[in-house]
Amino acid sequence: MDRLDTLLPPIDGIRSMAITLEEPFEAMAARFAHAPGTVVLLSGGDLDCARYHLLAIHPWLTINGRRQSTTVVIDGAGQEIPQDPLTVLETVLQRCRLPVEDAVSPVCAGLFGYLAYELKDCLERLPRTALDDLALPHLLFFAPTLIVVHDQKEDRTHLYAPVRRDVGDAAAKAAMADFIAALKRPSPSRVFFQGLPQRCSPPFRVKPTRAPSNGSAITSLPAMSTR
């Protein structure tokens, strides 16, 4: 773990920029659907808890763990850690903690991913009643280089980039400039979500499922999340 602690760069702050979207948020997010580690969180409804859309892209850090082994990838270079995922996660959170005074917006940096039920084995021994035939990670998190936050209530959009101590503010500026340039390129070929007004590009396709016996229609929408 000492090795990991030296590899992880502290986060010195957050660079932010107000941006104007020339297309729906879903269509903008679809531009990055092909990139590994892309996470999209869409909110619906009129409640306060459904106010923001989030897009997290280009992870500089990935944590992937099962049982007593965890892989940490920093800027494409992997490091195998013979520790359970929760212990590694604790080290990452302590090392890369964002100064409280720099915390802006509902989300401006952080880890996006999931914790699986099987992580219970890192805490206590319990009977296993399910077959682990897919061998999926018990913990998988991405730390994005860029986060886009769209406020539906105010119709405002901001772009955020963590400033890492090892690469400095120049890297954050460059990542933001590349993002703005990507939005100016022609958008991919678009398709309509069935039954929805928004347009979105592949692979966010809608696959109709078989109608139930009562005759009502069902449409399955794939989750726009970790790719």
The residue segments making up the domain with residue 197 are 2-125+133-206
Residue 212 placed within a domain: no
Strand partners, 208: 219
What count of Cα atoms within 13 Å lies in the side-chain half-sphere of residue 225?
9
What is the mean pLDDT of the segment spanning 165-185? 96
What is the mean pLDDT of the segment spanning 127-137? 82
Residue 196 placed within a domain: yes
Higher per-residue confidence, 22 vs 210:
22
Give the CATH number for residue 35: 3.60.120.10
Residue 227 placed within a domain: no
Q: If pLDDT is split at 50, 70 and 90, which confidence band does 104 have?
A: low
Residue 219 placed within a domain: no
What is the value of pTM for the model shown? 0.78
Give pLDDT, residue 103: 59
The answer to whether 173 and 15 are in contact (CB under 8 A) is yes
**Distance of CA 143 to CAs 107, 121, 209, Å?**
12, 25, 34
Q: If pLDDT is split at 50, 70 and 90, which confidence band does 59 have?
A: very high
Residue 31 placed within a domain: yes
The answer to whether 29 and 55 are in contact (CB under 8 A) is yes
